[in-house]
Amino acid sequence: MKTTATQLNKRDELGLAGLGSMPAEEVLSWAFERFHPRIALASSFQHCVLIHMALQVRPDVTVFSIDTGRLPEETYECARAVEDRFGIRVRWYFPERDALERLVREKGVFSFRRSPEDRRECCRIRKVEPLTRALQGLDAWITGLRRDQGGHRGNVEKVERDDAHGGVVKINPLADWTWEQVREYERIHDLPYNKLFDRGYTSIGCVCCTRALAPGEHPRAGRWWWEQGVHKECGLHVPNWNI
Ligand code: SF4
């Protein structure tokens, strides 16, 4: 019988405690065994470690991504390199046209710089709503969240109930990986990666809301750098996130 999101309330029944110490590859195998075909892998094309691992377990895995309309060229180049390398086609999701046109016509092309609320409104329209559509019909999704990214991500489990998206199961196989491990895995397998990492970036989102870091800055300091004292998240991974 397939596991449903609501059953994740009963962690012991699923034996999730044991998953916390499992290597990423085994977490993926467990996830596909449980949830295929109602499972998909989300990528923002910063790296493709999870795609590389997942394809070895499920060559037909669905890889999806959100095109906010403001992504850097390097992200598209990484996506294209991944498609070429692995012979896959990414399933892209875009913002809902009417909502985006309304936002830009009423508030301008840089509305997100006005206030945290305006920034979250932009993220909601360009990212959160498309993600909600991408998750429709799924029992589980796979993300590249890592605890070493800090903030809300400091407590992510390898498998958790995603209350931000109706209780769907969220699989984070790299939760206990460090950034150095990601880069080492890329080197060993000669994988495509986002070339902005060669120019001082450590976290990559929309081009207008991401900058390279100065020495000693927190890895996510380059995201929405003009905001102070608010969570550096776009709402994709934060429960009960509202504008
Ligand atoms: S990261 Fe910036 S441009 Fe992208 S959706 Fe959020 S506020 Fe809008």
Which residue puts its alpha carbon closest to atom 1 of ligand 1?
206
CATH homologous superfamily for 5-209? Answer: HUPs (3.40.50.620)
Residue 30 CA to ligand 1 centre (angstroms): 34
pLDDT of amino acid 5? 54
Specify the pTM. 0.89
236 lines ligand 1 (CB under 6 A): no
208 is catalytic: no
pLDDT of amino acid 173? 97
Which residue puts its alpha carbon closest to atom 2 of ligand 1?
209
| Active-site residue (options: 78, 123, 209, 234) | 234
pLDDT of amino acid 144? 96
SS (HEC) of the chain? CCCCHHHHHCHHHHCHHHHHHCCHHHHHHHHHHHHCCCEEEECCCCECHHHHHHHHHCCCCCEEEECCCCCCHHHHHHHHHHHHHHCCCCEEECCCHHHHHHHHHHHCCCHHHCCHHHHHHHHHHHHHHHHHHHHCCCCEEECCCCHHHCHHHHHCCCEEEEHHHCCEEEECCCCCCCHHHHHHHHHHHCCCECHHHHHCCCCCCCHHHECCCCCCCCCCCCECCCCCCCCCCCCCCCCCCCC
125 lines ligand 1 (CB under 6 A): no
pLDDT of amino acid 139? 96
41 lines ligand 1 (CB under 6 A): no
Which residue among 66, 94, 112 has the greatest number of ligand 1 atoms within 8 angstroms of its CB, and so is best to mutate? 112
pLDDT of amino acid 85? 98
Which residue among 114, 234, 236 has the greatest number of ligand 1 atoms within 8 angstroms of its CB, and so is best to mutate? 234
Which residue among 126, 203, 211, 227 has the greatest number of ligand 1 atoms within 8 angstroms of its CB, and so is best to mutate? 126
Which residue puts its alpha carbon closest to atom 6 of ligand 1?
123
pLDDT of amino acid 12? 46
Q: What are the sequence ranges of the domains in the chain?
A: 5-209
pLDDT of amino acid 19? 81
pLDDT of amino acid 10? 52
In b/e form, how buried is each residue of 173-182, taking b as 16+ CB within 10 angstroms?
bbbbbeeeeb
Strand partners of residue 157: none
Distances (CA, A) of 212 to 27, 196, 205: 32, 8, 11
Residue 52 CA to ligand 1 centre (angstroms): 28
Per-residue pLDDT tens listing for the chain (243 residues): 445 554 555 554 455 657 888 999 999 999 999 999 999 999 999 999 999 999 999 999 999 999 999 999 999 999 999 999 999 999 999 999 999 999 999 999 999 999 999 999 999 999 999 999 999 999 999 999 999 887 777 889 999 999 888 889 999 999 999 999 999 999 999 999 999 999 988 889 999 999 888 888 877 777 788 777 656 666 677 654 332
Directed axis angle between helix 24-35 and helix 49-57, to 10°?
50
Residue 65 CA to ligand 1 centre (angstroms): 15
pLDDT of amino acid 240? 45
Q: Which residues contact 213 (CB under 8 A, 6 or more apart)?
A: 200, 201, 202, 219, 221, 222
Residue 112 CA to ligand 1 centre (angstroms): 7
